[in-house]
A and B are shown apart, each in its own frame.
Chain A
Amino acid sequence: MSILKAADVGISFGGVKAVDGVSFSVSPGQILSIIGPNGAGKTTLFNIVSGVYTAGRGTIHLAGEDVTGMAPHRLAARGLSRTFQNLQIFQRMTACENVMVGRHLREKCSLFPALFRLPSVTHQNRETRAAALDLLAYVGLKDVADVPAGSLPYGACKRLEIARALAAEPRVLLLDEPAAGCNAVETEEIDHLIRQVADRGVAVVLVEHDMKLVMKISDRILVLDRGRPLAEGTPREVRDDPKVLEAYLGQHGAREAARA
């Protein structure tokens, strides 16, 4: 039973097919990794699936509903959440506020009670903040809850983005290079985090360059090369696929690797 299903998705930018005929599906609790060399179209695929770009062709189904071309905030309301490769945190807000924004869909957000600060608003704020603090504790950022996010170190921002995405209680979570620029210890932590999230029944789609991480936690791997699907399978299958080696290392490199 897949919750997110992309079928034959494609998009072109000025004649260049950035993503071309890619299909994948992921089930609740499963971790699907999308890998491929730089420029393979991984982030573009994420942008299509999360509604930031509109697909030129193909369809995307979320929980059985056709959501092709739907605006990101509508997808979010249907349980899709994501993080970004290039950090997209709210710099001028505190870490806690960042996560509180993540609770946006879980909050009642009417204007007049807000303007006059009715008790319902204060009450809801307390609940949202408590939930945000829990999530910050979960990703190990509780101590910096009231620090402006713009002054947090890189690794902390990465985890903050994950916390913010989780705050929406998504059914599908797209993580775009969550471990990029993180040291070994931080990568280890993120590894645990992703596994835990998946174990709670969230479908996780992961774009990541850290192969050790990918091989360790993925249930399935989809390999892209120049916008096209190259291989798909379990980590073991993908690792042993000569086409994958070739895409990563070139023909010569693949021969070397085969000999080694």
Chain B
Amino acid sequence: MRALMNQRFLTLAVLAVVIGILPFVFPSSYYFRVASLVWVSALAAIGLNILMGQAGQVSLGHAAFFGIGAYAVAIGPVHLGIPSWAALLLGAGLSALLAFLVGRPILRLKGHYLAIATLGLGVLVALVITTESRWTGGPDGMPVERLTLFGWRVSGSYTWYWVTGGLLLIGTWIALNLDDTPTGRAFRALHDSEVAAQVVGVDVARFKLQAFVIAAVYASLAGSALAFMNGFINPDQAGFLHSVELVTIVVLGGLGSVVGSIVGAAVLITLPQVLTVFHEYEHLLLGLIIIVSMIFMRSGIVPTLSSLFLRKARS
């Protein structure tokens, strides 16, 4: 218990220090931008990891909620005349509601069937965003009004670095909190054995739904943050490839590991930037690196390395 508490504190402290120190080594605002992208993706991935890594339910359409969050802050101020911060909350609320309504029937499905159902959800939302061009600007996307909080206009990559970093810290804190609570244990229990969880009284349907809604809200908030940061959005944010990217981050970093999602996001976002020096081989190398790391670090980067480290420390 004590060890666990310390571990939680330590994780948060290390993350805060990393976020705090990076600006001192960043040579240009481009680096701040990439780092903010990492923080945002990590936030979405942490949420998805609660669903996939903790509760063991896959979602191949998670970018749908990311897209809803992003488009909420774009559409809200322009078409509905509501302030940006309220649009952010509205987006999160809508995502939660959609997850709740859709999750009820589809979370009865298991494994591949659930994957396809969530995939369908993702495709559907992306389709709506692309075709309702009167509201969303269609395939071309639309501009997003800058976020203004209490008269403070939040803009610039430097500012957004801190805002997204702060959001990530909060998101990490909440995800770590959840782990050692009745809810977190219920998630992990139904992941390992649904029937055993049921017979000790865990309402499996309810907890799957909770995990789905939590993951949806995380993705929605991350989507809103990205939209504010970029000042522009397009339907790709809600598309299938983005869903796959989120799943890849979670699996690559380590299912069930909060830190894993952050590391996974860092690797998957920065690697393409680094690999641009190889020009046309960029995607080939990216694919190869992902394959090789999955072969050699089967349970994900962070769980594999930490168990290796623990074994070294013991021997």
Q: Taking beta carbons and an 8 Å cutoff, which residues of A are in contact with B?
A: 50-52, 71-73, 75-77, 80-82, 84, 88-93, 97, 100-102, 104-105, 107-109, 111, 114-117, 121, 124-126, 128-129, 164-165, 167-168
Contact = CB atoms under 8 A, between A and B. Distances in A.
Nearest to A92: B192
Given A109-B182, A121-B181, A84 B196 contact: yes
Nearest to A75: B199
Nearest to B197: A101
A117 B201 contact: no
Interface string B202-234: 111000001000100000000000000000000
A125 B178 CA distance: 12
A168 B201 contact: yes
B7 interface: no
Chain B contact residues (Cβ within 8 angstroms of A): what range? 20 to 34
30 contacts: A50-B199, A52-B195, A52-B198, A52-B199, A71-B198, A73-B198, A73-B201, A76-B200, A77-B201, A80-B199, A84-B196, A88-B193, A88-B196, A90-B188, A90-B192, A90-B196, A92-B192, A93-B189, A101-B189, A101-B197, A104-B185, A104-B200, A109-B183, A114-B183, A115-B177, A121-B181, A125-B1, A125-B181, A126-B1, A164-B196
Contacts of B1: 125-126, 129
Interface string B173-188: 0100110111111101
A127 to B, nearest CB: 11
B192 A105 contact: no
A71 B1 CA distance: 33
Contacts of B191: 92
Given A93-B185, A109-B181, 15 more contacts: A51-B198, A76-B201, A82-B199, A89-B192, A90-B192, A90-B197, A92-B256, A93-B188, A101-B200, A104-B185, A104-B189, A111-B210, A125-B180, A126-B1, A168-B201
A75 to B, nearest CB: 8
Of B186, B193, B196, most buried by chain A (CB within 10 Å of CB) is B196
Contacts of B201: 73, 76-77, 104-105, 168
Nearest to B198: A72
B307 to A, nearest CB: 11
Nearest to A105: B201
Nearest to A78: B201
Contact of B200 (A105, A108, A116, A128): A105
A82 B201 CA distance: 11
Given A101-B186, A125-B1, A115 B174 contact: yes
B195 A116 contact: no
A114 B177 CA distance: 7
A130 B231 CA distance: 52
B197 A111 contact: no
A104 B195 contact: no
A76 B198 contact: yes
Nearest to A84: B196
Given A72-B198, A81-B200, A111 B180 contact: no
